[in-house]
Structure 1
Amino acid sequence: MDQLGEFGLGVGLYYHMIAVVGLMLAAAGAINAHTIAYFKSGEYSDQQPGIEGSMQGSAICTERTGLLDYFTIMMLFGALSLLGLHQEAEAERMDVSEQTAQDYSIIVQDPDKDATDPAEWREFFSKFGHVSYVTVALNNGDFIQTLANRRSIVNSLMLETGGEGPLFERAMNVDKPMTRKEPLPCWKALLQKVGMASDVVFWHEKLREITLQVRAMGITKYEASKVYVIYEQEEGQRKCLAALTTGLIPALLESSTKISTSRKFRSTNVLKVEEPSEPGEINWVNQHYTLLYRAIEQSSALLFTAVLVGISALIIWATSLVDPVFSAAFISISNTVLPTIIKMITAKEHHLTDSAQQSSLLMKIIMVQWMNTAFIIYIIRPRPDLLTEEYVAQISKDAFTQPILLLLDLPGKLSHYVLAPMAKSQLKMNSYFLGSGWFLAERYSNMLKTVFVALYFSAIFPAGYFIAALAMFINYWVNKYCLLRIWRTPPPMSDFITKASWPHNGLQLGTGSVTSVTPDVASLGISAGSPLYTDFYVMESHHDPWKVRTGWWMTDDQKILVTLYSITAIVMTVIIAAAYFGKEAAFSIYHLFHGAYKPVGDTQGISYSDVAQIQAYVPQVSIPTIPHPLLATDLSKLNRDHISWSGDFDHYNLCSSSDLPDIKREDRVKLFSPCVHFVSDDHRCSIFAEAPEDPLTKAKSTNFKKEVAVSTNFKKEVAVSGTTTPINTP
């Protein structure tokens, strides 16, 4: 389990959480074992033996069972609280055990727009320690995305033509249009408008269009939007954050009393300095989008999601009036289609990091799944039919559907066994074996949905704890197999999305405690089709949700328990709201004016350059059809060992003559965010060798003194022999 953290802190914590939650649910099921046995026995109902499988052991909350359910909720409340603290400690342990670029770095959120020179930023931040890297993110996101789209079109042409030959050369000539020998059939023209049935001529026209866009955008002068600084020592980062951290409002108004004039950039700018996300999480295309723009965009997307959920609820309600079978069928379809639509909506949002985008996706998918799986069904279902055998089966079967679909990997099988053999070239066939895409947010949402359903119906279906626990362990191994065998390797993620899931954990526990005490649930029985205890179904209705609701038919012990349960549910809801929502709101307001910086763990005393395989903040953009990210910076001023992947970097670099053939190199590099490596004296060595003879004059060269920066995290054997000095270093 610890090794799974090497895929990123967020991925490691996901597997840790799913295993621990599975154990908690199994413990909750064990506590309710007596309740399940009682519901199965003839003492409760002689109709229970006629029901098969997991549907046995579900019924009303009576005086024999209510106390156990109450104890279970309290146990889960305490266990989830401890799990939250344990996860924080686990995240800190994982973070300290592996040195990453984040441990040495800071980000400037509001740089001067004309401050695009890395040397100027290095000089400013060097007062806190040696600066090893400076990356100035320009507001060139649209330009980079357009270049990446152009490269994707070129890649599609390579797949269609094999990447060589006169046809490929002809297709790459954008100054001369290509024509078809025969007119395109209507059906094929229609398919091409939706991105299907593409051919060489289709991609050639796309290449002509986007090349014109690139030429128009290549004359723009771009400005600084963010600055990433990496210190050689962790102490440098911590000193910087302790000295310069301030609130958002003082940074906007340039009026912080904490920051002296000497610590203002250019003596005027109160910088908004924070600890950044990991390099692999940065979305370099979206760095120039403002906080206000992103807030409006994400609020609109959330509102649109709520409208979709409302429409889905109306359809479920309408179909339930006609036939419950239609309603169940639509719920299954909705749970499959709506998350896909939501992923498309979230993909259009402009988040600064992948973790932020995953958290946005998590919130929307949870909204859909909780509503479809529990709330809507509970609201529209006639109370006497709430615990029919068909309904209980519907509650439990959903937990095992997703693991089966993940293992089947139907899109992957289609690519491997149908599309790949039909490929026209080796390159195109290889493109079908890149691995299936996946979202960590979707994995979290499915886990939370299973837990939510188990808690929501725990009072009437205690066996759901065991079903949910089994689902957790099955999902753990299925997800682990998919991570190592089926899915595309994800970029490393921080624990941001794990922290974002905790409010949902608290919310589902609070909701479960409230639903456990509702009198409608407390008065229902189970049978093959008719309810038990129908004499108790008629009870006084209260419209005040905070009033303790008891039935006239309850015994004194039951009324005491329901009253205790109601008070506990209210107190628990208040505690959860204060802990998960009030705390965040209070800190958000505090950070607006003061900011906050709290170091995690102790420094390790390891230099940035001494950490093996450590990354730098190298601007890049990912395209699904291309196996490696496309680099978007001048590679001559950085150490290529600090790029997050290995391969032909020059081939995957957008700052090249092949992508921008009409622009000179000195003008081309100004269009891209500069990333500069400043090597410290401790990691620099001077190599002197005998100057080689000039093959024309046979004279010794007088300008052969080379000072070569050698990173100590990559051992190099430098051979100095005679007149040659082979050195493989940037």
Structure 2
Amino acid sequence: MWQRFSQNRKSEVDVEVDENGIIIDEADDDDEEDLSEMLSNYEFEASTEHQPTRFEDLIFEDDDHEITYGRRIARYLTEHGYTWYNPRAANDPDHCGNEHQEETKNGEEGNIDNTLTQSERNLLVEKRGPSLDSAWAYFEHIALPRKLCGNAQYGENVNSYKADPGETMLATELYSYWTTPEDQLGDFGIGIGIYFLSMRIFSCICFIAGLLYIPLIHYYRSDDYSKGPHPNRDSWVLRGSAICTHTMWVPCPTCVEDKDKFDQNRLAIGILETDGDDDGNEVYFALRNLCGGNNWEQGLNHLGVTLFMCVSIFVLSWLLHKGELKFDEDNLTASDFSIRVTDPPEDATDPDEWEQYFSEHFGARVVYCTIAMNNEKLIDALAKRRTIAQAIIHILPADLKGEKNAILDDDEELETVAASLVAESPPTPFWKKCLQPLGLFQDAVMLKDKFEEINGEIEELLKVKYKATNVFVTFEYENEQRTVLSSLSVGKLWSFFNVAGKCDFPFRGVHVLHAEEAAEPEAVRWIHGLDSTLVRRVSQFLVTIIPLVGLLFFCGYIVAKVREQSVFWSGMMISIFNSIIPIAVRAINGLEIHDNEGYAQASLYFKITIFRWANTALLTTFLAEFTDTVSDEALINSLLAVFIAEIFTSPLIQLLDPVNHLKRHLKAPRAMNQIAMNNCFTGTFYNIAERYTNMTKIIFLCSWYGVIFPAGYFFGALSLVVQYYADKFCLLKTWHVQPRIGDEISVLGRLYFFPVVLVVMSVVGSYYWAGFPFDNLCSDNMESTIAVGTYMLQFKNETSSTFNWTSLDEGNEAIYDYKYCNQYFLGEFPAIGTEYERASADNGWMSDDQYTMSKYYGWGSIAVLVLVLLHYLQFIVKLGRSLFYGSWTDSGEKDSGERYSDQGSISCFVPQKKHRSFEYPLIACDIDLIEKKHISWSDPVKPYSTYSLVRDAKHVQKLAKEQGREVDESNIVFAPIKHWPPSNKKKKKKSKSKKKLKAVVE
């Protein structure tokens, strides 16, 4: 890759590299340090003569063995001139042979000659048209994650294999699906690493639980439980479930009083058929389940699995906590060296003042200081100005489109072009003007007016006195960060009310600071997030719960209607809602304000988890009639449909990714320009919170229905394994690179949601155990006196059938009359007490073994619930204590002893705004005095200054001054950021060897 880049770009250093892109030239200490500094600070803005104008001019010549299979297919079809695939295949700029050589001046084949002027180069690029291979290169080098090749960071410590998006200074390659170990997935963030670790452990837990349930599965499969043959009972999948097909109609004379409490298919009026007499005796018959009751052996089996799950989740939580520390120790990031001050004085906008405070009071060496401001309206207005400028460029006439990059970079030229467009544009038809408020048919006049209006708005916003809202400070060593956090840890009440006497190191002698460990720089939400209050965030969270409840009721209504037609397809409908409703939940969650991506994902995780748990388990249970719990073609069949969707349907759709494949192979080749083509290659955007909820949903489902469908644990283990490998493939090959997030979701899961799984398994299991045989019938302890004969059964739904009543059961014993009795305890807690006493009486439905085990289960569920409540109580106590005492504690992570300045792939806190109209973030601060290697992304073609909003603001101020208006250039409107490099990293006097260094860096 370095050699390919050398055709287009040269730096001021000359080094020797091997075939893998590793620098191998020997140098003395001074030269090595200067070389390392030049490499780290390198930015693509040397001169127009050597400036690449297109992304493909840098890296489109990736070897076939280095690229994705999709790009290989696209190359093959384009090179062979298949215009049905790529309409430009006949004259594709990257695969058209020598057709374009005549258009260059003394240039090499397939490349743009560096002797051309910028205007000539732009015109030539425009004439050649967009490059499909360039768009694929954008996909592989910007959208997809890449890792460094070997020790690619010369003279620096490699602590993470993951490369920054757009990295061209160092040799990189795509992650391998087959050889990337799980430990390396932590490079994507602690949250990603813990997610895959959790799935692997949970799949093992579910598989072992399934093995432990084999005695109960064998019992359900045997004739001791159900003798009734049925096609579904013969299925190997359902034979291990509690489906009961061994039933019998029994007389229930008193059921006429409780007929509304029975399902329409389980209660009927029986009319005795007699010869010559249509008016036979009428009596109510109810359908009784004859499946064997659960004995103490099966009870102990379930109790043993419950204990195993309790121990396993406890061990899992411990392992995940250790995993969090391991992933954090293996990957040094800015968060390990940085703190965030959430309540600085509003006028504390001088980074030097903060550096002096930390060095004098704590002896800490500050490397970076970034002060966030409440300038969201200004940043939004500057971003809007950029979008308007882009819209003006899109309507340029053909003869000027080759100059669009130069026009965008020159604000004065942009205004001149806009004015000329207005003068030359024809009148806009009335019908188009009517649609312009909707953003359609925007002409030059409208865009020029918008541009002038936004300039005026920005001019006014530049006069506002902005306040400091947060301060991010990065130290040279990890132990300095921990010392500061420990020393500034005070009660939240004292920092809120600024009680200086409670703090040993007040800022300016009077301000009590609240400091915490900073999130990762790329995870910080700089715009509309950092200045929000706790009350505002909590109120927004509660408000967004309301539409979530509405969505749940809507889904319940639709599933209920589908269930009336097919139980199986109602299960499929549940899975469909589990896939599409999170899209709406993400939109709802977007209404909340969070200061970093980790907390936003945690909030999303909470909402989607609640929805999927309710939609998958609660909805399935409450929509089904209690007496259908073990009926064929009822509850368990819908569970099977959910598991099938989780194992096959959802992962298959995820892997096929039809929408994005159509965009890359159908829409992209027909795009009108390179930007539109690149937008088809942004990759699939995903939420790690949604992936977490898939995992917890499966665990919750297995635990909820473990008693009646123990084989579900095998299905759960299989679905987790499939999800593990499907998500790993998508993470490395199709998903767009996301900000690195911390352990917020993992902590929320292991501390709050996993204990709920234990409660569900113990409490719901006790209810199911007490509810056998799920027919709401109890013996009246009186032999039936109903006349023997053939009865016509008439059901509530006006259907009818006949059966022969013999008054004797299969053992030739007299059949008793039955009566209605409530076996459904799910609405009561605990499932012990008076109902159990009635159930165990002579006329009850429970055997002695079932009664004894149910009683143990009832008290056991109470014990588990109490333990979990105590677990939650300790967090409430901890929260209360934090109001008066410092709450910071050392996580136990080992101190690496490494210096921040020695880390090559580590970021600093650079305020920026992400906008869907731009491929890269817009920088909202002055970065002239910081090391560019500490910015978490890079554009291989354009310099960082292209994305700086500071430049836009300066132009607006310049225009105001030219028009005679006052401008306060001393007003601090952007986030101040300053870098203090270590003394031994400062630039030294150039040596002779450095003066003659002239090499290719790629």
TM-score by length of 2: 0.64
Q: Is the 8 A contact 1:632 1:673 kept in 2?
A: yes
Alignment of 1:62 onto 2:294: yes
Q: Note the alpha carbon deviations across 1:459-490, whole angstroms, 9 max, x for none.
A: 11111100010000000000000001100011
CA separation of 1:126/1:459 partners in 2, compared to 1, >3 Å: closer, same or farther?
Answer: same
| Alignment counterpart, residue 402 of structure 1, candidates 624, 644, 650 | 650
Return the alpha-carbon distance in structure 2 between the equivalents of residues 31 and 470 of structure 1. 16
Of 174-183 and 591-600, deviating more is: 174-183
| Alignment counterpart, residue 461 of structure 1, candidates 709, 717, 720 | 709
More helix by share: 1
| Alignment counterpart, residue 509 of structure 1, candidates 753, 758, 764 | 758
| Alignment counterpart, residue 3 of structure 1, candidates 180, 184, 190 | 184
Provide the residue aligned with 1:79 in structure 2. 312
Q: CA deviation at 1:206?
A: 6.5
Provide the residue aligned with 1:700 in structure 2. none
Alignment of 1:131 onto 2:341: no
Provide the residue aligned with 2:680 in structure 1. 432
Listed as ranges, the gaps of 5+ residues in structure 1 are 691-717
Alignment of 1:10-159 (within 5 A): 10-47=191-228, 50-51=231-232, 52-59=235-242, 62-63=294-295, 64-127=297-360, 128=362, 129-152=364-387, 154=389
Q: Note the alpha carbon deviations across 1:555-586, whole angstroms, 9 max, x for none.
A: 2222111111111111112212322x323222
CA separation of 1:46/1:562 partners in 2, compared to 1, >3 Å: closer, same or farther?
Answer: same
Provide the residue aligned with 1:522 in structure 2. 772
Alignment of 1:680 onto 2:680: no
Q: CA deviation at 1:637?
A: 1.8
Alignment of 1:623 onto 2:915: yes
Match of 1:59, SS state, is coil
One-letter amino acid of the counterpart of residue 396, structure 1: F
Q: Is the 8 A contact 1:280 1:644 kept in 2?
A: yes
Alignment of 1:367 onto 2:610: yes
Match of 1:230, SS state, is strand
Return the alpha-carbon distance in structure 1 between the equivalents of residues 456 and 818 of structure 2. 77
Alignment of 1:417 onto 2:661: no
Q: CA deviation at 1:623?
A: 2.5
Match of 1:370, SS state, is helix
Q: CA deviation at 1:412?
A: 0.9
Q: Note the alpha carbon deviations across 1:344-366, whole angstroms, 9 max, x for none.
A: 11112110000100011111111
Q: Note the alpha carbon deviations across 1:97-122, whole angstroms, 9 max, x for none.
A: 22221121111110000110101111
Of 350-359 and 665-674, deviating more is: 665-674
Q: Is the 8 A contact 1:69 1:459 kept in 2?
A: yes
| Alignment counterpart, residue 469 of structure 2, candidates 207, 216, 225 | 225
Match of 1:86, SS state, is helix
One-letter amino acid of the counterpart of residue 223, structure 1: K
Provide the residue aligned with 2:58 in structure 1. none
Match of 1:553, SS state, is coil
One-letter amino acid of the counterpart of residue 144, structure 1: I
Of 542-551 and 123-132, deviating more is: 542-551
Q: CA deviation at 1:640?
A: 1.0
Match of 2:994, SS state, is coil
Of 270-279 and 145-154, deviating more is: 145-154
CA separation of 1:46/1:204 partners in 2, compared to 1, >3 Å: closer, same or farther?
Answer: farther
Q: Is the 8 A contact 2:371 2:470 kept in 1?
A: yes
Alignment of 1:376 onto 2:667: no
| Alignment counterpart, residue 829 of structure 2, candidates 538, 545, 553 | 545
Q: Is the 8 A contact 1:39 1:48 kept in 2?
A: no
Q: Matched residue pairs, number?
A: 689
Listed as ranges, the gaps of 5+ residues in structure 2 are 1-181, 244-292, 408-412, 776-800, 802-809, 811-816, 959-966
One-letter amino acid of the counterpart of residue 567, structure 1: W
Alignment of 1:604 onto 2:896: yes
One-letter amino acid of the counterpart of residue 645, structure 2: D
Of 653-662 and 369-378, deviating more is: 653-662
Return the alpha-carbon distance in structure 1 between the equivalents of residues 680 and 236 of structure 2. 42
One-letter amino acid of the counterpart of residue 294, structure 2: T
| Alignment counterpart, residue 582 of structure 1, candidates 859, 873, 893 | 873
Q: CA deviation at 1:435?
A: 0.7
Q: Is the 8 A contact 2:910 2:923 kept in 1?
A: yes
| Two-structure CA RMSD over aligned residues (Å) | 3.5
Return the alpha-carbon distance in structure 2 between the equivalents of residues 584 and 11 of structure 1. 25
One-letter amino acid of the counterpart of residue 313, structure 2: L
Return the alpha-carbon distance in structure 2 between the equivalents of residues 689 and 402 of structure 1. 62
Match of 1:657, SS state, is helix
Match of 1:667, SS state, is coil
| Alignment counterpart, residue 298 of structure 1, candidates 513, 522, 541 | 541
One-letter amino acid of the counterpart of residue 684, structure 1: K
Q: CA deviation at 1:144?
A: 2.1
Return the alpha-carbon distance in structure 2 between the equivalents of residues 406 and 147 of structure 1. 37
Return the alpha-carbon distance in structure 2 between the equivalents of residues 603 and 667 of structure 1. 44
Return the alpha-carbon distance in structure 2 between the equivalents of residues 329 and 185 of structure 1. 46
Of 347-356 and 43-52, deviating more is: 43-52
Return the alpha-carbon distance in structure 1 between the equivalents of residues 655 and 443 of structure 2. 33
CA separation of 1:228/1:216 partners in 2, compared to 1, >3 Å: closer, same or farther?
Answer: same
Between structure 1 and structure 2, the one with the greater Rg is 2
Alignment of 1:585-664 (within 5 A): 585-599=876-890, 600-647=892-939, 648-658=942-952, 661-664=955-958
Q: CA deviation at 1:521?
A: 4.7
Of 477-486 and 444-453, deviating more is: 444-453
Percent identity, aligned pairs only, is: 28
Provide the residue aligned with 2:855 in structure 1. 563
Return the alpha-carbon distance in structure 2 between the equivalents of residues 626 and 138 of structure 1. 23
Provide the residue aligned with 2:994 in structure 1. 719
Q: CA deviation at 1:678?
A: 0.8
CA separation of 1:123/1:669 partners in 2, compared to 1, >3 Å: closer, same or farther?
Answer: same
Q: CA deviation at 1:491?
A: 1.4
CA separation of 1:348/1:43 partners in 2, compared to 1, >3 Å: closer, same or farther?
Answer: same
Q: CA deviation at 1:444?
A: 0.4
